[in-house]
């Protein structure tokens, strides 16, 4: 039984309370994490506050901080194979999927963020337009202070990097509260921080559940909250943060459409949408889980979806032959099953799946890959975020109707458009409600250049890209007078008796 510990002020620390961690493929408990109380959160925030106010980190150059991020990547890279095995057991990500997205991508992203350091190196400067000789303005970007970061269970190391890398590069210190379901990635990050020479208190990790989370959001020593998770929890975080006027960055849920245009390549659209909606057992916020198909091609697409989805293999994550692994927990499995049952009760038909899986290890958290057809956008399976391996296929009549249905959602995180006429596909893509839109592809991202900014109930603010980096900064406007002639000042004509 592995016991994880908190990481506070550069040291490992125990905490009262224990939460079990199981392997989603078997249901067997293999580790335990602390269920930290509010007092532990306070200790971590005080360590981060001291490191920010009195330590060297905020006063280092962005280039020097970038060097530490690169050393973090190198330290993680030295444990690549071990991390792959551990994260397969921790997250249920399949052996084919895990090395690239759960381990390789975070290391690459650390280096990508480090390469953004020049954006913070020099202040922008500009003279007074009316009379440049009088003075000049400078715009400085400074760190916010202490960042409270919340990361979800689906991509634990990946999402930790998305939070801490821009926050640290900007000169902030961080208290990270990861999901208690997947502690391996954050723990590896703490070990790498020691190896990389990150000053004590710059990165602190507190494990726990609701008590720890509420304490972190409410703590007056935290300046900004960065949260990725469900919309239901995110709105509560935003409300709680308002009590102390904290800034918030929220990356929340989605019910993203894959809009198939009449001229789309069927094979490309079907395979891409199945990958997007079923990868990592559907546990991805940007998954395109609503496939909108023109009426005249609906039967063709249904036949191809059935053919392609039926051969996907459900099984243990460690088996390299597995296409779709388990969901994260028994509670998640039951939630997905309820959504599928509700969808069928409201008129949908299970083209593939929708039943209890067979031939999988007993005790694992398995949900059959499911494709639902013959439903409209009002069906619960079509408008609620399921976060499981479920694709809803919706019929539309005319492109305008397809755009209407695609935008008929409280979410606005991502979208995909499939069509061979790229002029039309681009026109349609720009009309869809979403901060991240693909044409004839899915799951592409460039953290250094492409921000992710959700619309509606999908989030507040931006992550990644220049906007995502600057979200972890505050601006200072600095004015320097270049001419000391009192006669040209507005206050030079006040109080004539002074002369």
Residues acting as catalytic residues: 251, 285
Using only the alpha carbons of the chain, give its radius of gyration. 25
Residues 6+ apart with CB under 8 A from 82: none
Q: Are 346 and 124 in contact (CB under 8 A)?
A: no
Distance CA(22)–CA(329), nearest Å, equals 8
Alpha helix segments (H runs only) across 170-291: 184-196, 210-218, 231-242, 266-278
- Pair of tokens at residue 216: 């972190």
Distance CA(457)–CA(231), nearest Å, equals 6
Burial 463-479 (b: 16+ CB within 10 A, else e): bbbeebbbbbbeeeeee
375: burial class by Cβ within 10 Å (0-12, 13-18, 19+)?
buried
Q: Are 465 and 448 in contact (CB under 8 A)?
A: yes
- Pair of tokens at residue 356: 């209890």
Residues 6+ apart with CB under 8 A from 148: 45, 174, 175, 177, 216, 217, 219, 222, 224, 225, 226
Kindly give the pairing relationship between strand 459-460 and strand 247-251. antiparallel
Distance CA(351)–CA(104), nearest Å, equals 35
HSE on the CB side for 277, CA within 13 Å? 33
Q: Position of tokens 């009426």? A: 295
Burial 9-23 (b: 16+ CB within 10 A, else e): bbeebebebebebbb
403: burial class by Cβ within 10 Å (0-12, 13-18, 19+)?
buried
Distance CA(205)–CA(103), nearest Å, equals 19
Helix orientation angle between 298-310 and 266-278, rounded to the nearest 10 degrees: 50
Q: What count of residues does the chain have?
A: 499
HSE on the CB side for 170, CA within 13 Å? 27
415: burial class by Cβ within 10 Å (0-12, 13-18, 19+)?
buried
């Amino acid at each position: 039984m592995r016991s994880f510990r908190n990481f506070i002020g550069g040291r490992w620390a125990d905490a009262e309370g224990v939460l079990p961690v199981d392997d989603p493929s078997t249901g067997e408990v293999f580790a335990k994490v602390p269920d930290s109380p509010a007092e532990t959160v306070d200790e971590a925030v005080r360590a981060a506050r001291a490191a920010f106010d009195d330590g060297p980190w905020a006063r280092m150059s962005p280039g020097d901080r970038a060097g530490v991020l690169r050393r973090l990547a190198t330290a993680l890279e030295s444990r690549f194979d071990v991390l792959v095995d551990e994260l397969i057991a921790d997250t249920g990500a399949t052996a084919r999927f895990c090395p690239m997205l759960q381990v390789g991508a975070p290391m690459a992203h650390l280096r990508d963020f480090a390469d953004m350091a020049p954006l913070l190196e020099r202040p922008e400067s500009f003279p007074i337009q009316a009379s440049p000789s009088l003075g000049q303005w400078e715009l400085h970007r400074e760190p916010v202070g202490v960042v409270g970061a919340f990361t979800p269970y689906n991509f634990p190391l990946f999402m930790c990097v998305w939070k801490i890398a821009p926050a640290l590069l900007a000169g902030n210190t961080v208290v990270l509260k990861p999901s208690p379901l997947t502690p391996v990635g954050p723990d590896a990050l703490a070990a790498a921080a020691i190896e990389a020479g990150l000053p004590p208190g710059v990165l602190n990790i507190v494990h726990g559940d609701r008590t720890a989370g509420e304490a972190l959001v409410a703590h007056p020593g935290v300046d900004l909250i960065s949260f990725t998770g469900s919309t239901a929890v995110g709105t509560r975080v935003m409300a709680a943060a308002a009590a102390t006027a904290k800034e918030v960055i929220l990356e929340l849920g989605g019910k993203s459409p894959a809009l198939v245009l009449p001229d789309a390549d069927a094979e490309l659209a079907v395979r891409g949408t199945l990958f997007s909606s079923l990868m990592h057992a559907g546990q991805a916020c940007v998954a395109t889980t609503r496939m909108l198909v023109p009426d005249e091609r609906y039967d063709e697409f249904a036949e191809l979806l059935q053919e392609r989805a039926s051969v996907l293999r459900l099984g243990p994550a460690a088996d390299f032959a597995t296409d779709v692994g388990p969901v994260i927990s028994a509670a998640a499995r039951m939630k997905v099953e309820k959504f599928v049952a509700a969808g069928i009760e409201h008129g949908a038909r299970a083209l593939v799946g929708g039943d209890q899986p067979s031939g999988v290890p007993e005790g694992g958290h398995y949900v059959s890959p499911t494709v639902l057809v013959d439903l409209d956008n009002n069906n619960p399976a079509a408008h609620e975020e399921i976060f499981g391996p479920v694709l809803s296929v919706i019929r539309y009549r005319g492109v305008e109707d397809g755009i209407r249905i695609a935008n008929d959602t409280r979410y606005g995180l991502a979208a995909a458009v499939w069509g061979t006429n790229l002029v039309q596909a681009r026109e349609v893509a720009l009309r869809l409600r979403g901060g991240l839109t693909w044409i004839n592809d899915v799951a592409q991202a460039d953290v250094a250049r492409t921000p992710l900014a959700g619309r509606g109930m999908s989030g507040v603010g931006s992550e990644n890209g220049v906007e995502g980096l600057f979200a972890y900064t505050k601006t200072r406007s600095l004015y320097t007078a270049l001419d000391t002639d009192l006669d040209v000042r507005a206050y030079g004509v006040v109080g004539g008796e002074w002369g």
